[in-house]
Amino acid sequence: MQIAYFQIKGEGKRTNQDALFDGTNVHTAKLHHAKTVPTPAMPFCVAVADGVFNSPQAHLASRFWINEVAHARPDDVGGVGFFERGFGRFCNDVGATAHGSATTLAGVVVGADRLDIFNVGDSAVFVVGADGVWQKLSHDHSILNELLGGQVADSTQYAQFYGGLMECLIADPNEHEFNVHRTTHAPTQGETVVVCTDGLTDEFSPTQLTLMWNSQSTLTDKLAILLQNLKKRQGHDDCSVVAVGF
């Protein structure tokens, strides 16, 4: 098993509104080139959070929830209790100075024979097969995704304010009802689970991701080619990617 990650702030931005947890450490860097990190004892969690760009001091929201992930027991992360306990602190700690600050969150708890996947918003979790094909395991809580599924909710106006998101974590006591998508996956030899903010998926289609992925052999090089091509995209967003190879 191997863990690798990279992180980059959006072009023209002063602050990276993303936050990433690699299983051991939290990262909020302007640029981290692709690198491997030590693999913790199982179970462990990797996660990313993406501060909603048009919410107040969005980096505070993403950093709060990634730190919640980092300090929680891995087998508790992503569960109902995790969000219930964290939400009150979120409103008190972040809401006091940045009421309405918001973020997405996605992560994977890696166990001996099972992955527990969770997400709120449009940060995503993929499993990449040995053939390099990307399969999404998370669910995008977005206007676009609901339109494609024929399930446009009454909260469309709310979603337009929060960057097209139907669900996100908002530092406001009145926003305590949010949906968390959860699923599980049994990893097999040669698969890789990738957790990423939408800075990656907004720029590249699944086909493009597969082509880049298959052009390299090691996990670090696979992430490095993603970062290399992302840098070429004019006006690219913040992007955080962490991957666990099996």
Average pLDDT of the residues in 116-129: 96
Per-residue pLDDT tens for 155-211?
444 444 454 566 789 999 998 888 899 999 999 999 999 999 999 999 999 999 999
Q: Show me where the domains of the chain are located.
A: 2-245
Per-residue pLDDT tens for 72-104?
999 999 999 999 999 999 999 999 999 999 999
Predicted pLDDT at 159: 43
Query: How far is the C-alpha of 132 from the C-alpha of 210, rounded, in Å?
Result: 5
The more confidently predicted of residues 177 and 232 is 232
Average pLDDT of the residues in 47-70: 96
* The CATH number, out of the four listed (3.30.1330.10, 2.20.25.90, 3.40.50.880, 3.60.40.10), of the domain defined by the range 2-245: 3.60.40.10
pTM to 2 decimal places = 0.90
Average pLDDT of the residues in 19-34: 98
